[in-house]
């Protein structure tokens, strides 16, 4: 089906996912297939990010979360880590005016305090400058680990219980969620993973309990608007049951 037709069909159908999360995977394999260094794959992946942010904005999706860098990714070779970090910092700097122009609000989920101070400042500036935008919320999961997020929440809850701010019996799912990095964000409705891996890789363990999963073999740098629309169309044609019948 032509891309435009699918886009119109999606819009017409109406039950768009409010929050889409993507595990952007396969940059390294994309580069290897071409005999290029892994960083060339990350560079190509940035172009996909730009396209998919525009496609999500075009569909008026409320929130797009992109798994950008996991806490475990620090264990990659030093050169790859610093190349990814530099790309992130250069891209944020370069694209800031574009985000402002397109009414995109940038936020992050994860521990950005651990990033180097220059990188942190660039991100904080972009977050600050786009904070009143009312269009797509672009959430970068950065230095993110789902298990660390849960542990951090438990630490904060323990402090609040010990100091009497909350009582153990007050703790329910809503209150627990408010201690997570994603406080205030609805859970993802649709989680897309590129490059065919059938795993969650420590991503939003709490928040994805009823998220619809969509895995495509397409490598992230090759992921097109049409692939994105296909994922959304698949979501729109599923029946979410939440344990009911």
C-alpha to C-alpha distance for 109 and 151, rounded to whole angstroms: 15
Q: According to the binding rule CB under 6 A, does residue 89 interact with ligand IPE?
A: no
Minimum CB distance to ligand IPE, residue 181 (Å): 15
> Is 133 a binder of ligand IPE (CB under 6 A)?
no
The three-class DSSP label of residue 55 is: helix
Q: How many CA atoms lie within 13 A of 15 on its CB side?
A: 10
Q: Return phi, psi of residue 94, to 5°.
A: -70, -35
Please confirm, yes or no, whether 160 is among the known catalytic residues: no
Interface mask toward ligand IPE for 184-223; x: CB under 6 A: -----------x-x-x-x----------------------
Contact status, residue 48 vs residue 227, Cβ threshold 8 Å: no
Asked if 222 contacts 99 with a C-beta cutoff of 8 angstroms, the reply is no
CB 226 within 8 A of CB 48: no
**Taking a C-beta distance cutoff of 8 angstroms, is the pair 44, 221 a contact?**
yes
Give the active site residue among 27, 73, 160, 237: 73
Binders in 14-73 for Mg ion, by CB under 5 A = 25
Using the rule CB under 6 A, is 57 a contact of ligand IPE? no
Instruction: Note whether 68 binds ligand IPE by CB under 6 A.
Output: yes
Give the range of 24-32, 105-113, 125-133, 175-183 binding ligand IPE by CB under 6 A.
Answer: 24-32
Catalytic annotation on 15? no
Which of the choices ligand IPE, Mg ion, none does residue 201 contact, using the CB cut-off of 5 to 8 A by kind? ligand IPE
E strands present in the chain: 19-23, 63-70, 105-109, 137-144, 190-193, 212-215
Residues in the site for ligand IPE, rule: CB under 6 A?
23-29, 67-70, 73, 84, 195, 197, 199, 201
Catalytic residue ranges: 25, 73
Residues in the site for Mg ion, rule: CB under 5 A?
25
């Amino acid at each position: 089906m032509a891309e435009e037709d699918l886009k119109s069909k999606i819009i017409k159908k109406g039950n768009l996912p409010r929050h889409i999360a993507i595990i952007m995977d396969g940059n390294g394999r994309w580069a290897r297939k071409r005999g290029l260094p892994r960083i060339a794959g990350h560079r190509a992946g940035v172009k996909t990010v730009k396209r998919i942010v525009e496609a999500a904005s075009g569909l008026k999706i409320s929130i797009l979360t992109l798994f950008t860098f996991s806490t475990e990714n620090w264990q990659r070779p030093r050169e790859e880590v610093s190349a990814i970090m530099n790309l992130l910092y250069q891209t944020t700097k370069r694209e800031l005016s574009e985000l402002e122009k397109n009414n995109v609000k940038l936020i992050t989920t994860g521990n950005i305090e651990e990033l180097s101070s220059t990188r942190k400042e660039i991100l904080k500036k972009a977050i600050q400058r786009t904070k009143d935008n009312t269009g797509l919320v672009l959430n970068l999961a950065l230095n993110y680990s789902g298990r660390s997020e849960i542990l951090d929440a438990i630490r904060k809850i323990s402090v609040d219980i010990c100091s009497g701010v909350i009582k153990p019996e007050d703790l329910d799912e809503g209150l627990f969620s408010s201690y997570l990095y994603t406080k205030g964000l609805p859970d993802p409705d649709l989680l897309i993973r590129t490059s065919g891996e059938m795993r969650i890789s420590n991503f939003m363990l709490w928040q994805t309990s009823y998220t619809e999963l969509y895995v495509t073999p397409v490598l992230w740098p090759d992921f097109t608007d049409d692939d994105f629309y296909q994922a959304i169309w698949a979501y729109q044609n599923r029946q979410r049951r939440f344990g009911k019948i």
